[in-house]
Each structure stands twice: as C-alpha cells, then as structure tokens.
C-alpha cells in the first residue's frame, strides 16, 4: 500500500512540476508577493499631504503649524489664504487634510480661553481618515498639555500611562506580515489541490486511475502529499523572509509553528480536495477554489478584526481554517504564546480537515462522469 501511495505521490509531483510554467507559477509569485505586500500592507500613514490655512498671525498659531510641518508623517503640499481655496484642494485629492487656524487663535489662547482650530479631512477613504484623525488629536493634545505647563496650569489630578505589549512601537507591519504567511500558504495549497482531480477528469485520466487497484483513501493521500510538502517548503521560505528581511520578531517555539502548520495544511488541503472532487472541469475547480479563498481571506481577521463583524458573521468565520492559523502565527511570532494556549485553535482545523477529506474520498467514487 505504501508503495502504491509513493508511486501516486511521485506522479502527482511530476504532473505539477514537469511543466516549466506551472513550476514557475507555484513557486515564484508567492515569494514576490510576500516582498511587495510586506511593504504595501501597513496601516501606518507616511507623507500625509496636507494644506495649511493659517489666519492667525500670532506666535501660538505659528507654533501649532510648525508642529505639523516638522512631523515626519506629514508633508505640507499647499498654503492657502482664503476659504474658497479649501474645497478644490480636498476635492482633487491634492491634500488629504486642511489645517485651519482661526484668526483669533493666539489672542484667545493668551486670554486663557480655548483657541479655535479646524481640521478638514477627506473621508472618501474612511480608514485613512480615522487613522489621520487619531494622529491629529494626539498632536493637538500634546500641544495643549505643553501650553498648559508653560502657562503654569495644573496637569490635572490623574494621568495616563499607556504601554503597548508585544509591539511597543505599534508597527502594523509586525501584525500584517505574519498574516501574509498564512495567506500565501493557503492560496498555493488550495490551488494546487483544487485543480488536481478536475484536471484528470477533464483529460480523462481519472477514469484510468479508478480502474487501478487504488482505494479512494489511497488516491486521496497521494493527491494530498504534494500539497503538504509544497506547503511546508513554501512556509519555511516565507517565514525566513519575514524574520530575516522584514525583521519581524519570532518569539515563540518554531516547533509549535510547524505543528500549527501541519493542522492548517490538513484543513486547507482537505477543502481543496473536496472542491476538486466536486468539479468536473478545471473552470469549476477554479471557481470553487475562488469561492473558498476570497471569503476565507476577507473573513479571517487578516486586515480587519473579526470582532468588528456582526455576530452572525462571526459565527460563520468558525469554519474558516485561516482564522485559527492566523491566531497561531501571530501568537508565536509576536507574543511567544506557549503551546497549551493554542490547543483551542488546533482541533477546529483538524475537524475541518477530517470532515472534508472524508467527504472527498466518498465523492471520488460516486462522482464519475
């Protein structure tokens, strides 16, 4: 039996790798994508283009504006001198933000009254706008407290001491790059397995496979093995790039990471084989892979937290293997989470994998046309 599985696995590998182009598309793009996306995927804003509209002539207004022009993430692109100039600058996306200091700003501040400052933000990209507003309120709060201290006011009865664990500088790249590791592994293994049976069906070789002494379980294992090996190899390469190139800290046990990867591959390959066993043509296999991949990525907590979704959709994510694997990858990379805290993420993936593989091996036999 082992010899038969070995022979089938070898044949699968050859089918996958003998063609130069198909070898290329499963190996090179994931690595390139990791590099490009690793740089692209960040929620931190840099070089925010903003325009200054300063009606105030006093020193306080100038100081406030200087805070923004000197900040590393802001880049002044225009100086406005009238209300009418504000709309065109924002409409055309020349500036993401307009900082408008009112005419009485310095005088009000000197008199001990609040000085008016207006910030206009382009809300077309609401996420960027929300992050930007966060930056602005931090900067104005800093300005306020410094001004208070200089003018001899009291800092208030209580102060906040905020610390961020695991990622003290709040670099969103540290969060997103481990996520890309899971994303690309899922993409490659699902594609490879989802089209494997469909291709044989379309070319008519699957019927030949069925009349051989292979049992459905053996066909299943033979089809799954290349996905496992490919997944392990690619994951290793991607983790190396993430730690050595992007300098994301890897604080936990590597062995734990690979245990997690094994269960993740079992679930994603299970889904891929299930899709493959249902598909008659490669187009159907591709569509099936797509219908699985796209929601899996979007609803995994990769870019937007699962906790923000409506409750019924949060329940839906429970059948998504990537959801569990992302918790494992991020936990091991950033938090150094020990194995016993991750067991809760492992068994759902095992369950998903087992159910799908069982269904796939059942369908291999029944669906013959």
Partner 1 sequence: MSAASRMRLRGLVRKEFCQILRDPSSIAIAFLLPVILLLIFGYGISLDTEHVPVAIVVDQPDGDTAGLTARFLGSSYFSPVFVRDIGQAEESLMGRRVNAIIHLQPDFSRRLQRPDGAPIQVIVNGTDANTARLVMGYVQGVWQNWLSRRAAESGGVLAAPLQLDQRVWFNSELRSRNFLVPGLIAIIMTLIGGLLTALVMAREWERGTMEALLVTPVTMGEVLVGKILPYFLLGLGGMALSVAMGLWLFGVPLLGSAWLLFAVSSLFLLAALGMGLLISIATKNQFVAGTVAIVTTFLPAFLLSGFIFDIGSMPVVVQAITRVLPARYFVAALQTIFLAGNVWSVVLPNAAALAAFAVIFLGASRQKLRKRLD
Q: From residue 17 to residue 46, what is the string marking binding to partner 1 with x (rule CB under 8 A)?
A: --x-xx--xx--x---x--xx-xxxxxxxx
Among the listed residues 84, 310, 343, 369, the single contact to partner 1 using CB under 8 A? 310
Query: What angle do the packed helices 216-240 and 20-40 form, to 10 degrees?
Result: 40
Task: Enter the tokens of residue 369.
Answer: 């046309």
78 touching partner 1, by CB under 8 A: no
The arrangement of strands across the sheet holding 97-101 comes to 74-79, 48-54, 97-101
Which residues from 237-256 bind partner 1, rule CB under 8 A?
none
Nearer to partner 1, 14 or 341 (CB): 341
Nearer to partner 1, 130 or 244 (CB): 130
The interface region with partner 1, picked from 227-235, 270-278, 284-292, 358-366 by CB under 8 A, is 284-292
Q: Strand, coil or helix: what is 44? A: coil
Distance (Å, whole) CA 70 – CA 331 = 36
Helix (H) or strand (E) holding 190: helix 172-194
Nearer to partner 1, 71 or 358 (CB): 71
Q: Are 16 and 223 in contact (CB under 8 A)?
A: no
- Closest approach, Cβ 134 to partner 1, in A, equals 5
Among the listed residues 8, 334, 352, 360, the single contact to partner 1 using CB under 8 A? 334
Non-local (6+) Cβ contacts of 91 within 8 A are: none
Count of residues interacting with partner 1 (CB under 8 A): 115
Nearer to partner 1, 60 or 218 (CB): 60
Indicate the length of the chain as a whole number. Answer: 369
- Closest approach, Cβ 213 to partner 1, in A, equals 27
Task: Enter the tokens of residue 354.
Answer: 């087992």
Distance (Å, whole) CA 326 – CA 347 = 14
Nearer to partner 1, 84 or 158 (CB): 158
Task: Enter the tokens of residue 193.
Answer: 């397995």
Distance (Å, whole) CA 48 – CA 291 = 36
Count of Cβ atoms closer than 10 Å to residue 222 Cβ: 21
Which residues from 159-178 bind partner 1, rule CB under 8 A?
159-168, 170-172, 174-175
Which residues from 92-151 bind partner 1, rule CB under 8 A?
92-93, 96, 109, 112, 114-131, 133-134, 136-138, 140-141, 143-144, 147-148, 151
Place of tokens 């604080």: 251
Which residues from 176-205 bind partner 1, rule CB under 8 A?
183, 187, 191, 195, 199, 202
305 touching partner 1, by CB under 8 A: yes
Task: Enter the tokens of residue 238.
Answer: 């991607």
Given the DSSP bridges, would you call strands 48-54 and 97-101 parallel, antiparallel or unpaired? Answer: parallel
- Closest approach, Cβ 250 to partner 1, in A, equals 14
Helix (H) or strand (E) holding 52: strand 48-54
Among the listed residues 2, 154, 204, 369, the single contact to partner 1 using CB under 8 A? 154
Distance (Å, whole) CA 143 – CA 156 = 15
- Closest approach, Cβ 93 to partner 1, in A, equals 6
The interface region with partner 1, picked from 244-252, 290-298, 351-359, 361-369 by CB under 8 A, is 290-298
The interface region with partner 1, picked from 51-59, 234-242, 331-339, 359-367 by CB under 8 A, is 331-339
Among the listed residues 69, 304, 347, 354, the single contact to partner 1 using CB under 8 A? 304
Task: Enter the tokens of residue 120.
Answer: 């206009």
Nearer to partner 1, 9 or 173 (CB): 173
């Amino acid at each position: 039996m082992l010899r038969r599985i070995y022979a089938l696995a070898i044949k699968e590998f050859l089918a996958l790798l003998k063609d130069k182009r198909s070898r290329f598309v499963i190996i090179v793009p994931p690595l390139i994508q990791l590099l490009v996306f690793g740089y692209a995927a960040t929620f931190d804003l840099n070089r925010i283009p903003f325009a200054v509209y300063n009606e105030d002539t006093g020193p306080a207004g100038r100081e406030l504006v200087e805070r923004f022009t000197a900040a590393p993430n802001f880049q002044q692109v225009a100086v406005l001198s009238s209300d009418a100039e504000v709309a065109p600058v924002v409409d055309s996306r020349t500036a993401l933000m307009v900082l408008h200091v009112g005419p009485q700003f310095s005088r009000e501040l000197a008199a001990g009254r609040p000085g008016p400052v207006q910030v206009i933000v382009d809300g077309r990209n609401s996420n960027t706008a929300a992050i930007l507003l966060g930056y602005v309120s931090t900067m104005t709060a800093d300005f306020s407290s410094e001004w208070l201290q200089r003018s001899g006011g009291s800092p208030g009865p209580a102060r906040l001491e905020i610390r961020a664990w695991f990622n003290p500088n709040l670099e969103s790249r540290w969060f997103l790059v481990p996520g890309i590791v899971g994303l690309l592994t899922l993409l490659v293994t699902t594609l490879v397995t989802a089209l494997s049976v469909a291709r044989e069906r379309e070319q008519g070789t699957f019927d030949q496979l069925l009349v051989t002494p292979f049992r459905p379980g053996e066909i299943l294992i033979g089809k799954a093995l290349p996905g496992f090996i490919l997944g392990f190899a690619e994951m290793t390469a991607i983790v190396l790039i993430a730690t050595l190139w992007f300098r994301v800290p890897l604080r936990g046990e590597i062995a734990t990471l690979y245990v997690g990867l094994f269960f993740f591959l079992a679930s994603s390959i299970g889904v891929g084989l299930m899709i493959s066993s249902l598909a008659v043509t490669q187009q159907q296999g591709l569509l099936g892979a797509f219908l699985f991949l796209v929601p899996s990525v979007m609803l995994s907590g990769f870019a937007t937290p699962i906790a923000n979704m409506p409750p019924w959709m949060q329940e839906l994510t429970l059948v998504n293997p990537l959801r569990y694997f992302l918790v494992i990858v991020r936990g091991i990379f950033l938090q150094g989470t020990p194995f016993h805290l991750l067991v809760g993420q492992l068994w759902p993936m095992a369950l998903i994998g087992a159910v799908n593989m069982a269904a796939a091996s059942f369908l291999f036999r029944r669906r013959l046309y």
